[in-house]
Structure formats: C-alpha cells, structure tokens
C-alpha cells in the first residue's frame, strides 16, 4: 500500500472506531441504568465503590520504578561504562523489578490494614 492509501484508510477507520467506542460507552451506561431500575434501585443515588489504597499503590509503583531507573543509570555509568553495547535491557529489567516490588509492598500494606480492621472488629 502507498502512503496515500494508508492515509485514506486511517481517515475512515479512526472516526468510525471513535464513534463505535463512544456509542458503546453510552449504550452500556444506559443499559446499566435500566437494569438498576428493573431491580427497583435508584440510578441517581448509585455511586461506584472507591478504592481506598489506589494512591498508595500508584505511589509505590512510581517510587519503585524511579528507584529502578536510578539504579540502572548508576550501573550504566559505573560498572557497565566500558561496554559499547546497548544495555537498554538493564533499564527495562530494573524498572520492572522495582515496580513489581513496589506493588508487592503495597499489597502487603493493604493486607495488614485489612487484617488489623478485622481483628478490631472481632475484639469488640
């Protein structure tokens, strides 16, 4: 395919996919409200459940990723400074490892908080 043909194809597909996405979101939202009305629930009073530890999770993920990036930078400029090869894999691996460690720490904190709340509930 030539660049002109790809441009025309993209000009057709992108607006159609955006329309389909918006239509699907509106359709599913209205269908959810109708299902709530059928079950004698008030859709206006419905509020989605909040995720209380969402900020903790994102914060620890970004801190872990930042630590991984910083450690990769230090290793690149100290230990691996003589290598001319592309060591992009080091950056990706350390970001993934430390980001995963941040998510694991977040999981452990959430689990400990939930167990503490259950223990307080049982003792009362």
Annotated domain spans of the chain: 3-45, 54-123
Please provide the DSSP assignment of 30-74 as one string: HHHHHHHHHTT--GGG--PPP-TTHHHHHHHHHHHHHHHHHHHHH
Give the integer Cα–Cα distance in Å for 93 and 7.
37
**Model confidence over 98-123: pLDDT tens digits?**
999 999 999 999 999 988 887 777 77
Question: In the predicted model, is pLDDT for residue 27 greater than 90?
Answer: yes
Task: Record the pTM.
Answer: 0.58
């Amino acid at each position: 395919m030539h660049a002109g043909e790809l441009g025309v194809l993209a000009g057709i597909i992108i607006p159609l996919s955006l329309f389909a996405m918006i239509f699907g979101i509106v359709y599913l939202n209205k269908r959810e409200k109708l299902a709530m009305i059928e079950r004698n629930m008030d859709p206006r009073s419905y509020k989605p459940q909040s995720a209380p530890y969402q900020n903790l999770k994102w914060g620890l993920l970004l801190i872990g990723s930042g630590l991984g990036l910083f450690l990769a930078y230090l290793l690149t400029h100290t230990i691996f400074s003589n290598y001319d090869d592309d060591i992009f894999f080091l950056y990706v691996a350390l970001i993934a490892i430390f980001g995963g460690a941040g998510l694991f720490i977040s999981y452990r904190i959430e689990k400990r908080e939930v167990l503490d709340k259950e223990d307080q509930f049982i003792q009362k």
